[in-house]
Structure 1
Amino acid sequence: MGLFDFAKAVGHKLFTKDADAEEKIREHIEQANPGIQDLKVSYQDGAVSLSGKTDDAAAMEKAVLMAGNVMGVEKVTADGLEAPEAVEKVDYYVIQKGDTLSAVAKHFYGKASAYPRIFDANREVIKDPDLIFPGQKIRIPLDDA
């Protein structure tokens, strides 16, 4: 899947000491259970590397986004995650100041009422469609838009 860049200064504050980062990020991903088996997380100087196995490419994408949307993380690699090739086409979008999921849906799909599609594709990343934050990176499904 390669390397993803994130905004290091924004996101969910899960740890205060770098020594706690690996455990806290792993727990954060496993709590939402996107479907990764044998998940391992390594963290060094703002860079996270994920490894494990999944039967679903979307689970891998969600795990990367969950790790990257943590304050203190600026890069995530998932080269150690075994996953099938993605079938669904997706784009990635960084939430801007003033954005709503409705506005993002209007931009990508031409209608604000399509926001539940974005929310459903990001349930592990976005817990409440009214609580998104600038700098947060999300998945935008493109097939059958």
Structure 2
Amino acid sequence: MGLFDFARNIGKKIFGSDDDDASEKLQAHIAEDNPGVDDLQVVVKDGVATIKGKAKSASAYEKAILMAGNALGVEEVRADELEAPEQTIEVTYYVIEKGDSLWKIAERFYGNGSKYTGIFEENREVITDPDLIFPGQKIRIPAAS
């Protein structure tokens, strides 16, 4: 599962399945904790969220996609018109599994559970509370430095 594919039936409830203003609600959700995207525009149709704008960094680009994709009802994010600088670090996208905690994920990727705060900080716009992650949620994990 790549950056742009998500589980449609899992995620944060932002809008209803027959919600006429799903695009507005998802755009407001991303704008609320804007990871660094100017001129943000979001359109949702048939489970596909299309994002346009100009990301200030590669991580802002990734976070905007993750914020959209982790919404209940979204199974794909298209970002062909979301401009961003190239990513300069190695990033892994991880789908949270039942029983996971950020501590366990940090142990798995970094060999040290106490580095969970770094994962949280790298996903602050995607994860609002480090104790409230859910199976199926996709996050980004930068390579250990």
Q: TM-score, normalised by structure 2?
A: 0.95
Moved over 3 A (4+): none
CA distance in 1, matches of 2:107, 2:45: 38
Equivalent residue, structure 1, for 2:6: 6
CA distance in 2, matches of 1:55, 1:127: 21
User: Is this contact kept in 1: 2:110–2:144, CA < 8 A?
Assistant: no
The alignment status of 1:30 with 2:35, answered yes or no, reads no
Equivalent residue, structure 2, for 1:101: 102
1:1-145 to 2 correspondences below 5 Å: 4-16=4-16, 17-144=18-145
Cα distance, 1:143 vs. partner? 4.6
Deviations 1:33-61 (A, max 9, x none): 11101111111110111110022110010
Percent pairwise identity = 58
CA distance in 2, matches of 1:138, 1:23: 23
Cα distance, 1:87 vs. partner? 1.3
User: What are structure 1's unaligned runs of at least 5 residues?
Assistant: none
Deviations 1:4-41 (A, max 9, x none): 11011111111113422100110000000111011111
User: Is this contact kept in 2: 1:3–1:78, CA < 8 A?
Assistant: no
CA distance in 2, matches of 1:18, 1:87: 38
User: Is this contact kept in 1: 2:3–2:93, CA < 8 A?
Assistant: no
CA distance in 1, matches of 2:11, 2:140: 16
Q: TM-score, normalised by structure 1?
A: 0.95
